[in-house]
Amino acid sequence: MSKAAELANLIGNINAGGGGVNRNIIINGAMNVAQRGTSSTGVGASSGFFTCDRWRIASSTSGRATMTQDSSAPEGFSNSVKLACTTADTSIASDELFIFQHRIEGQNLQTLQKGTSSAVPVTVSFYVKGNASATYTVELEDVDNTRYNSQEFPVTTDWVRVSRTFVADTTGTFDDDNANSLRLNFWLHGGSGNSGGTHTDNVWHTTNNQRIGDGASSFLDSTARTFFITGVQLEVGQNPTEFEHEPFERTLAKCKRYFEHCFDHGTFPVEGNNYGLGMTLYNGVTWINDNIRAQIHFLVRKRSDPTMTAFNVTGLGSGTSDNRWRWWNGSAWEETSGATDLGELNNTGCFINVVEGDASAPNAYMVGGGWSADAEL
């Protein structure tokens, strides 16, 4: 082992009893933050983020599942993600997949020194269980260089901590920017396009059909299937350390770099939700060309300029039209005459342009509604 690798291994394994701050590259590995809500059905119809923050489903399959933030968890944890198959897919096309996934910015991976002679190994550890014994595949996917390294792991009906160390890769560097450079993939289902070749554990390669282990199970082969996971940690070094717990508010702030909304935590942002803190804006309201204008300031600077969505809300007068905020006419809330525009955007906030042609609207001093800001990888 090189001196650099020895040092990285030492740093990554300081005080296996819990020392070493910011060892874990994963955000929300304990599944405690769920800004989008705690349960989602029909998961698998499309790829996206559904319940626990920073955890994504990549899907191309006719199978479906529910995804919940679940209270079943190993000792020392409060939550896990539970996936339960609701529609089986036993006729598997070559390009099918169903992956539980975490995406990581390149600038947060520079300590791996990937693509250099000083590249270091990393270790992934996590707690899993299911309704029955199964074998799945955990993978590091180098997005910048289209390289893969995967290993099989077992699941039983009891909570078990699994760890897998991935060898250093001296080929292909990670871009030092805020884009997606690495995906941590838990392959739960896949076709021959990802599994038809001969798989070898813990080898970096570029061949798509060698990504899934030869003995892998399909999570979508039966509606009896469940898969639970929590305590996910990715760290530099060859040995897994104790999971790095952190205060809820710290994890929440990290998650808000990628996604934030104004509703109460755990409330999925949709049209007609009741308003929460941050919904009504009292300051900076001006009138410009039939637009009542105010400003949203994000609680956390976003990874990039986010995609903004406006929502109408209950609790601020009558009116149910999508994307329309309310304005205060001095005695009551009124629905605006046009859809709300969230523009002049950057990673710290945006302006709200509430469309209203009413002659009395220039006297408005409050507007209210809902919003979300999405800067996910």
Which two structure tokens, joined as six digits, stand for 23?
A: 């060892």
The residue to which tokens 């038809």 are assigned: 196
Structure tokens at 313: 């809300």
pLDDT digits (tens, 9 = 90+) for 143-201: 999 999 999 999 999 999 999 999 999 999 999 999 999 999 999 999 999 999 999 99
Q: How far apart are CA 291 and CA 364, in angstroms?
A: 11
Higher pLDDT, 311 or 50: 50
Domain positions in the chain: 3-248, 273-374
Say if CB 309 and CB 372 are below 8 A apart.
Answer: yes
Residue 188's closest CA among 122, 250, 243, 139?
A: 139
Q: HSE (CB half, 13 Å, CA atoms) of 329?
A: 14
In angstroms, rounded to a whole number, what is the distance separating the alpha carbons of residues 46 and 102? 16
What token pair was written down for 282?
Answer: 């009292």
Q: What is the pLDDT of residues 26-83, one digit of tens each?
A: 999 999 999 999 999 999 999 999 999 999 999 999 999 999 999 999 999 999 999 9
Q: For 344, phi and psi rounded to 5 degrees?
A: 45, 60
Confidence of residue 2 (pLDDT cuts 50, 70, 90): low
In this predicted structure, the answer to whether residue 8 has a pLDDT above a threshold of 50 is no
pLDDT of residue 289: 75
**DSSP letter at 107?**
G
**Structure tokens that stand for 145 in this block:** 């260089």
The separation between the first and the last C-alpha atoms of the chain, rounded to the nearest angstrom, is 34
Rounded CA separation 110/132 (Å):
39
**pLDDT at residue 253 tops 90:** yes
Max Cα distance, the chain (Å): 75
Query: What does the pLDDT average to over 338-349?
Result: 87
Distance CA 169, CA 150 (A): 13
Under the banding of pLDDT at 50, 70 and 90, the label for residue 20 is: low
> What's the whole-model pTM score?
0.91
Cα separation, 281 vs 285, whole angstroms = 8
* Fold exhibited by the domain 3-248: Jelly Rolls (2.60.120)
Q: What's residue 293's pLDDT?
A: 81
Within 8 A by CB and 6+ apart from 272, the residues are 311, 312, 313, 314, 320
- Dig out the tokens for 184 from the structure: 């941590």
Q: What are the residues facing 293 on neighbouring strands?
A: 286, 353
d(CA 330, CA 211): 63
Answer yes or no: is pLDDT of 18 > 80.
Answer: no
Pairing relationship of beta strands 333-335 and 326-328 according to DSSP bridges: antiparallel
pLDDT (mean) for 103-116: 98
pLDDT given for residue 201 in this prediction: 97
Tell me the pLDDT band of 260, cut-offs 50, 70 and 90: very high
Q: Return the pLDDT at 331.
A: 80
